[in-house]
Amino acid sequence: MKNTLKELIEKNKIREQQYIAQRQAEIDNPLTKDNRRDFLKKTALGGLSLSALMGLSIEDTMAETTKNVRRASAPSDLKITDLRYAHTAVMGGTAILRIDTNQGIYGLGEVRDGADPKYALMLKSRILGENPCNVEKIFKIIKQFGGQSRQAGGVCGVEMALWDLCGKAYNVPAWQLLGGRYRDSIRLYADTPEASSPEEQMKLIKYRTEEQGYTWLKMDVSIGEIMDIPGCIVNQEIFKQGRSQWQGGYMSYANTAHPFTGVQITEKGLDELAKIVDHVRGMVGYEIPLSTDHYGHFDLNNCIRLGQALDKYRLAWLEDMVPWQMWEQHKTITTALNTPTTTGEDIYLLQHFKDLIDNHAVDIVHPDLASSGGLLETKRIADYAEEKGISMAMHQAGTPVSFMANVHCAAATQNFLALEHHSVDVPWWEDMVTMTGGGKMIDKGYAPVPLDAPGLGIDLNEEVVKAHLHPSDQSYFAPTDMWNEKRSHDRTYS
């Protein structure tokens, strides 16, 4: 018996040596991906064998042979220890969040473009000490502090970072945590801004389609483009006094909801706007879907008149023709037109999408994950819309952090159409992060889904991010201890 046992142990040692050599060869192979190499190193048992039978228990043998293994995380023991931010110059100011833990791993999130980082900082005292892998629990703790549009930026940014952390803790991609993926690549639509001339517009279009390979475009069809052409807008001189859609005082055109501006478009104005779309259609043809947005602030009847003038161009959608809250008006517009309609980039939580979806007030829902509630809530929105026969496109105008969060959510969502990319013309945008699993972030108008990299599959390129911080705040993940203390009782009922 003793000889047989010794022979068995010797054979096992030989097999172990062969196995160790095989693992080492894979580690040394330059074609082995970094995350696979890291996995092999961390999980090497380094000597567990039947030699345990010679005097050590299996527990003792395991303890001895794994004592030098450095585990990346013990998920059940993770605790949030800090929340910091870096305010980048993307889209005029977009803050990247970093949530740190007691085990050295961290998660990246993002406060929506144009939103104040304080929307996230005020949440810090509510999440310190929590296990970041309890994503839904933490979301329920903080979601009451999110509002519509950019007021949801803090809650959504934290939620993104939690999924990144959870994926890293369990060494799986975020899409896997959402239930798995439907696709290996995410179709993108390239936002194309207004141009000063048809020639400049053609240059922007060709760069996207011919050089970058995008197969879906979105353009603005704004009354701002015709405001200086006589006879296009009723009360033109009054409109020109406050013609910006984006900035102005509380009583300005920019802050007056569409039905209340009094702006009307003449038949000549409709013809001029149709010429703009006709020109772009002539450049790109009908093989490429063409979406439209940012028409200006005018009422329901003018929306229908404009939509009917553009119906013949087979647009992919008309976006945000009136404020999202006016779902009955969206329903009226949708019923009157052949062109699909969409809204949703400023809606927070599924509960506020339900009127639009239940009443089929739009043909497509269009959430911005950095406002809608983060990855899981956006998937819930998409799944609810799918049950009602409505598809989902995704609005995105931030840094690569929220972009990749959208990629994972889109991969896990069946009724997904396309994801917006708003920084096609920013040369350093993609360089803000590195793909931890290797490969490209964007390839010929598609975003490859990270199949092996944990979490969101990215890490920050510190040098590039530091070079493009917002002028108003040059700090880079500086301490935020002044936000550690909770000073209110948050329960919303008595």
What does the pLDDT read at residue 88?
98
Provide the percentage of residues in the chain whose pLDDT is more than 70. 86
**CATH 3.30.390.10 domain position(s) in the chain:** 76-172
Q: Are 438 and 154 in contact (CB under 8 A)?
A: no
Q: Which helix (H) or strand (E) holds 406?
A: helix 400-411
Provide the percentage of residues in the chain whose pLDDT is more than 90. 75
Binned at pLDDT 50, 70 and 90, residue 54 comes out as very low
Q: What is the CATH number that goes with domain 76-172? A: 3.30.390.10
The sign of the CA dihedral 316, 334, 246, 325 is negative
**CATH 3.20.20.120 domain position(s) in the chain:** 177-455
What does the pLDDT read at residue 238?
66
Q: What is the mean pLDDT of residues 141-154?
A: 98
Average pLDDT across the chain, whole number: 89
Q: What is the mean pLDDT of residues 217-224?
A: 93
Binned at pLDDT 50, 70 and 90, residue 11 comes out as low
pLDDT in tens, 444-491: 999 999 999 999 999 999 999 999 999 999 999 999 999 999 999 999
Q: Are 300 and 273 in contact (CB under 8 A)?
A: no
Alpha helices in 112-262 (DSSP H): 118-121, 124-127, 135-142, 153-170, 174-177, 198-206, 236-240
Architecture of domain 177-455: Alpha-Beta Barrel (3.20)
Q: Which long-range contacts (CB under 8 A, 24 or more apart) does 483-486 make?
A: 483/83, 483/121, 483/122, 483/124, 483/125, 484/124, 484/125, 484/128, 485/125, 486/125, 486/126
Q: Are 447 and 185 in contact (CB under 8 A)?
A: yes
Residue 42 has pLDDT above 70, yes or no: no
Residue with the two structure tokens 């810090």: 124
Binned at pLDDT 50, 70 and 90, residue 31 comes out as low
Residue 349, Ramachandran bin (φ over 0: left; ψ between -120 and 50: alpha; else beta): left
Binned at pLDDT 50, 70 and 90, residue 69 comes out as very low
Binned at pLDDT 50, 70 and 90, residue 242 comes out as low
Strands 217-220 and 290-293: parallel
Strands 341-343 and 106-110: unpaired
Q: Which helix (H) or strand (E) holds 319?
A: strand 317-319
The contacts of residue 455 (CB under 8 Å, 6+ apart) are 107, 163, 164, 165, 166, 167, 168, 173, 174
E strands, 354-482, in order: 364-365, 391-394, 416-421, 433-435, 446-448, 458-460
Q: What is the mean pLDDT of residues 91-101?
A: 97
Q: What is the mean pLDDT of residues 321-341?
A: 98
pLDDT in tens, 425-455: 999 999 999 999 999 999 999 999 999 999 9
Q: Are 163 and 157 in contact (CB under 8 A)?
A: no
Q: Are 112 and 153 in contact (CB under 8 A)?
A: yes
Residue 10 has pLDDT above 90, yes or no: no
Strands 364-365 and 391-394: parallel
Q: Which two tokens stand for residue 348?
A: 């927070």
What does the pLDDT read at residue 51?
38
Residue 407 has pLDDT above 60, yes or no: yes
Residue 132 backbone dihedrals phi, psi, to 5 degrees: -65, -20
What does the pLDDT read at residue 84?
98
What does the pLDDT read at residue 62?
39
* The model's pTM: 0.85
